[in-house]
Amino acid sequence: MLWSIYPYGGLVVGIFTVDFELTEEQSEIQMLARSFSSREMAPFAAEWDDKCTFPSQMLKKAASLGFGGIYCSEDGGGAGLGRLEATIIFEELAAACPSTAAYLSIHNMAAWMVDQFGNDKQRRQWVSNLCSMELMSSYCLTEPNAGSDAASLQTKARRDGSDYVINGSKAFISGGSVSDIYVCMVRTGEGENGISCLVVEKGTKGLGFGKQEKKMGWHSQPTSAVIFDDCRVPVTNLIGNEGDGFKIAMKGLDGGRLNIGACSIGGARTAYEAATDHVQARTQFGAPLASFQALQFKLADMITELEAARLLIRQGSLKLDLGQMDATVYCAMAKRFATDVAFKVCNEALQLHGGYGYLHEYGVERILRDLRVHQILEGTNEIMRVIIARHILRSKFNV
């Protein structure tokens, strides 16, 4: 049975059962993603990392399999799958390259926001090309002075006739300067209800970009500031109504948190498998490392925690697909747990490799660098704890 947490009554048993086995269709999707990632991503991931290469052609190949609009509607050109299927796909892609899989996750989130909240004209204009990745997209919420406190964003959009004129900047934007579509949260009024969602197309006058950031990881995706200097955007680019932007952004993040958690599991799984192979092949003190009980226990803990993280990701996915009232808190739980566990597992995998784990050619350090940021983006893990605590304490303490 699924457990649900309600603010007015503690733990209660859900009313439906869960089959922990994937369906035949889900297994086929998993194998499709695994085959693609092993063929089109894994052999090149180290080079992408080393040369900071954005593999745009590979991403279009992924889109041809439906991975550019996984949970966008079929009539808009998407695959029409659920959030559970999305997490299965992202785990498999991230097993080859967490950095590239994470960009694809962000693109999917932005494309879904246009598909879900845009009007018919906007959907016809953008969604099909987003799903095919003829258009690539970025999600623009974070600002230099508005990170965890996203509702304090200051980028302003002033109405001027049939246009909005935008001034301000966004920080740490994946795909900055490369993406074709920027789904931006901008201030049109006061407070949370004064935030609106605008699509800004690359090439729009007044749209600019900062330098490419030099990052610890995520080298296969460009990251820069997005800058608006009297950037004039048609009112017809408004997604939803004025004031809907913060709600749209948060709904997008629910799925984004599941996806990034799945990416973390995929990367950590690869690191764990490499460590398992290494301790069986490596001999010290006249015996394979795998014969030492201390290391056996470490491997046992690593795989147990990965399995637990995957179950929580899938539970959150199911709740989000079903529209359950506690879906947001489960997405926060899943993201917090999966990203923390995955980084820990990857760090342990590096330790089990000894000095070899610190070398580029073994690949574990690349995964470690890529996974570290997952504990920060899509809402820091500290903010995930705030969401969870507020949910469980709301009725008693009115927090």
User: CA 51, CA 36: separation in Å to the nearest integer?
Assistant: 22
> Comparing C-alpha atoms, which of 212, 225, 125 is closest to residue 184?
225
- Measured CA to CA in angstroms, residue 48 lies from 44, 60, 86, 107 at distances of 6, 16, 24, 19
Identify the helix (H) or strand (E) that includes residue 224. Answer: strand 223-234
User: CA 87, CA 349: separation in Å to the nearest integer?
Assistant: 23
Angle at 26 between CA 23 and CA 29, to 5 degrees: 155
- Measured CA to CA in angstroms, residue 276 lies from 108, 156, 291, 363 at distances of 33, 52, 12, 14
> Comparing C-alpha atoms, which of 291, 285, 301 is closest to residue 349?
301
> Comparing C-alpha atoms, which of 139, 92, 142 is closest to residue 380?
142
* Contact indicator for 103, 178 with CB cutoff of 8 Å: no
CA-based radius of gyration for the chain: 21
- Measured CA to CA in angstroms, residue 251 lies from 233, 248, 255 at distances of 24, 5, 7
Compute the half-sphere exposure of residue 252: CA atoms within 13 Å on the CB side of its CA. Answer: 30
- Measured CA to CA in angstroms, residue 107 lies from 181, 364, 399 at distances of 10, 26, 34
Q: Which residues are catalytic?
A: 378
What DSSP string describes 120-185?
Answer: HHHIIIIIHHHHTTSS-EEEE--BTTBSSSGGG---EEEEETTEEEEEEEEEEEETTTT-SEEEEE
Q: Maximum Cα–Cα distance for the chain, whole Å?
A: 79
User: CA 330, CA 306: separation in Å to the nearest integer?
Assistant: 17
Whose tokens are 């739980």? That residue is 333
User: CA 200, CA 198: separation in Å to the nearest integer?
Assistant: 6
